[in-house]
Structures are given as structure tokens and as C-alpha cells.
Amino acid sequence: MQKIVSDPKIMMGKPVISGTRITVELILEKLAAGETPQQILEAHPRLRDEGIKAALAFAAQALRYDVIYPTIA
């Protein structure tokens, strides 16, 4: 199962899918732009479906904290 890790030596410490340099941010941006999970998987052969699900779960958990987030109008 792929999981999310953060290492200052990889992608400046951004959360990435374990064993890759694919950031959670990249996955979320691609999904927001309308790419399907299948298109993302085809573009990144080292990524598996579990990695996309892990990225979404990580983002959901990060948003659970009591923090005010600025929005872009």
C-alpha cells in the first residue's frame, strides 16, 4: 500500500507518495483540473490507485485541523 511521507531531502519536504517524487499537491491539482485518476496513473507509472486515495485522505485529514484558510476569490 502506498502511503504519504515527508522528507526534507525529497521535494523540499512536501508530502509525497512513498517511493516516488509525486507530491500530494500534484495529484490534487491534476484532479482539480479535471484529470481522471486513470489519466494520472497513465502519466505516472510508479503511482498506483492506492496512492491517489492516500493523497485524498491526507488532504482531508489536513483540513480537519482548526485553522482558518484564506480563499482565493
The CATH number for 32's domain is: 1.10.10.10
Mean pLDDT, residues 57-73: 80
Tell me whether residue 72 is in a domain: no
pLDDT averaged over every residue in the chain: 92
Q: Where are the beta strands (DSSP E) in the chain?
A: 4-5, 16-17
Q: In whole angstroms, give the CA distance from residue 31 to residue 8.
A: 25
Tell me whether residue 68 is in a domain: no
Q: Please, which pLDDT band fits residue 1 given cuts at 50, 70 and 90?
A: low
Reported pTM: 0.85
Tell me whether residue 73 is in a domain: no
Tell me whether residue 32 is in a domain: yes
The pLDDT score that the predictor gives to residue 64 is 86
Which range marks the domain in which residue 20 is found?
Answer: 4-62
